[in-house]
Amino acid sequence: MLQTHKKLIILCFISVVALAAFAGCVEKQQQAAKAFPCKQVYNATLQEDLLREYITEIGTKCKNNWAMPVRFVGQDLEAIIFFKVHPDGSLTDIYFDKRSGSTDYDGSVEKAVKKSNPVCPFPENLEKTPIEMAIRFQPPNK
């Protein structure tokens, strides 16, 4: 009987220590949640992932609509074009941040973006604030 009491006392002691440690962890988690709310961190990560995927999709669509004149293949040209994407998928405020120096090349870049308008609407869970984005167009190497 004495052995059973010792085991019970030891078990109770271990349980109290474990409970105290657990309470400490919970308290630390609560403090962390106040400093960095998990839901906000999760939502920010989800928003970032959705935004990254959506922007990649738009960039791919614009590049697929690009009918670059063949004579520019292998040339050291670069054009960077900015535009605003609205929740409904419309593209506005299209302008060049950097022109290539060739009117024909820049025209093909601008035409690719305009041909892509509209893109698909924002994904359901993406924040409905217009996005400003840029695409860099460079001709492929030979």
Instruction: Say whether domain 36-137 belongs to CATH 3.30.1150.10.
Output: yes
Decide if pLDDT at 129 tops 80: yes
Specify the pTM.
Answer: 0.68
pLDDT one-digit tens code per residue, 79-116: 999 999 999 999 999 999 999 999 999 999 999 999 99
Kindly give, in sequence order, each residue whose CB lies less than 8 Å from that of residue 34, ignoring residues fewer than 6 positions away.
none
C-alpha 60/C-alpha 62 separation (Å) is 5
% the chain with pLDDT above 70: 69
pLDDT band at 46 (very low <50, low <70, confident <90, very high): confident
HEC string of 90-111 equals: CEEEEEEEECCCCHHHHHHHHH
Asked if residue 66 lies in contact with residue 138, where contact means CB atoms within 8 angstroms, the answer is no
Residue whose tokens read 């990254």:
52
User: Among 2-6, 44-48, 56-60, which stretch is predicted with the lowest mean pLDDT?
Assistant: 2-6
Confidence (pLDDT) at 28: 47
